[in-house]
Amino acid sequence: RKEVEQDPGPFNVPEGATVAFNCTYSNSASQSFFWYRQDCRKEPKLLMSVYSSGNEDGRFTAQLNRASQYISLLIRDSKLSDSATYLCVPDTGRRALTFGSGTRLQVQP
Amino acid sequence: NAGVTQTPKFRVLKTGQSMTLLCAQDMNHEYMYWYRQDPGMGLRLIHYSVGEGTTAKGEVPDGYNVSRLKKQNFLLGLESAAPSQTSVYFCASSKDGYEQYFGPGTRLTVT
């Protein structure tokens, strides 16, 4: 089983929409979770860290469900600039992260 | 604040040539990483370092070597480049091994 699984998308949403991505992880021992965003042909950038049940930063909310081993990212009031690939990254306990292919979001005018 | 920088930004090599990619960070981070990303794929960890003078293998270490002689620098070497090593290479650094900050990448083509 892969360490992390995400729907690759693309998710095509209109500006102003609310969109949510889910991510399931296999390592029940993972304590920390991270959402990164990666623009086309650019480096990944840390969007949000989740160390407890969830985190909120402006239009972005991450929620963690340890019992079901999934973490979600909710984006409210989508902007064109939110178009990117969103990577869900659980910690491996080895001071290294395992990145999947992510979920692609395309916000349309 | 430069963060994480990588040189060069682009490089074309012929099969069998060697080269070294340089990563530098000015955040005093202990942990540094080298990843490769092939088109449409996720990042794959090549090697990493948990401190000056240390290195460890990641998921895809074959064909690469690394050195961390100074805390701020992490070098990735290709001794004999192969077309399969055509990729985008990203370096990252981290204070604690979790929140990682990436450089802009090096686009390498091996012909």
- What is the per-residue pLDDT across A71-108, written as a single tens digit (0 to 9) for each? 999 999 999 999 999 999 988 777 778 788 899 999 99
Peptide bond into A44 cis (omega under 30): no
Cβ atoms within 10 A of the Cβ of A3, count? 16
Residue of B nearest to A100 (CA): B42
Joined together, the tokens standing for residue A29 give: 């021992």
Mapping DSSP to helix (H, G, I), strand (E, B) and coil, where does residue A81 land?
A: helix
- Tokens found for residue B58: 């990641």
- Give per-residue pLDDT as tens, B39-63: 888 899 999 999 999 999 999 999 9
Count Cα neighbours of B48 within 13 Å in the Cβ-side half-sphere. 25
Q: How far is CA A29 from the centre of its chain?
A: 19
Overall size of chain A counted in residues:
109
Q: What is the pLDDT of residue A48?
A: 92
Interface list for chain B against chain A, based on CB atoms closer than 8 Å: 31, 33, 35, 40-45, 48, 50, 58, 88, 90, 94, 96-105
Q: For residue range A5-56, what is the model confidence (pLDDT) as tens digits?
A: 899 999 999 999 999 999 999 888 888 889 999 999 899 999 999 888 889 9
Which residues of chain A neighbour B3 with C-beta distances below 8 Å? Answer: none
For residue B6, the chain A residue with the least C-alpha distance is A43
